[in-house]
Amino acid sequence: MKETHVSEIRKYVTAVPVFVYEDDSIHTVINKFITNPVTRAVYVVNKNRMLQGIITIQDILKRISVDFYSTSFIYSEPSFTGYNIMSSIKDSSAGDIMNTDTYSVKDDDSIEHAFSIIFQNHAGEIPVVDKQDKLIGDLNVIELLVLWEKRGKK
């Protein structure tokens, strides 16, 4: 059977990768997830669209859980420690919360290699970059399921 490459399936689910810039607010990041519900990661890029970091939905949920947890402190702690924590989170930028230990694949990588990267990083999707690490797409695990299903019907 012919080897399948990332370029052959990466647009089944997401034609354009969801990204923000390093100085975008946490609110911008959250809105990217809300307006793109299939997205499991928002990629952080610089002005040249070079991949700088990744923010997963789990990263955002961890931040928000601190926010919800901190709300109870506003009413129970006279020092307003909880409010200070919430304020610092709300003022965070994408660059503040991104994971800089990035992983990615290229269009000419095999799907087997992409699977390996996804499993190693417990990722729902991974960025696709060109030779200069410029973000050009992403590979969603649903796209891998689509490929598996298509192969099974042949």
135/84: higher pLDDT: 135
Confidence at residue 83, expressed as pLDDT on a 0 to 100 scale = 45
DSSP for the chain reads -PPPBHHHHTTSS-SS--EEETTSBHHHHHHHHHH-TT-SEEEEE-TT-BEEEEEEHHHHHHHHHHHHHHHHHHHH-TT-HHHHHHHHHHT-BHHHH-B-S---B-TTSBHHHHHHHHHHTT-SEEEEE-TT-BEEEEEEHHHHHHHHHHHHT-
pLDDT value, residue 71: 52
pLDDT at 18 over 70: yes
Confidence label for 20 from pLDDT (cuts 50, 70 and 90): very high
Whole-number average pLDDT of the chain: 85
Cβ 51 vs Cβ 102: under 8 Å = yes
Instruction: Please check the confidence at residue 137 and state whether its pLDDT lies above 70.
Output: yes
- CA–CA distance, 10 with 26 (Å, rounded to integer): 27
pLDDT at 25: 94
pLDDT at 77 over 70: no
Which residue, 4, 12, 2, is CA-closest to 138?
Answer: 12
What CATH number is attached to the domain comprising 74? 3.10.580.10
Place of tokens 């999707």: 125
Q: Is residue 1 part of a domain?
A: no
pLDDT at 146: 87
Average pLDDT for residues 17-44, to the nearest whole number?
95
Residue 44 has pLDDT above 90, yes or no: yes
**Can you give the residue range of the structural domain that contains 57?**
6-152
- How many structural domains does the chain have? 1
Give the CA distances from residue 152 to residues 13, 88, 125, 144, in Å, rounded to whole numbers and listed in that order: 19, 50, 22, 12
Percent of the chain's residues with pLDDT above 90: 60
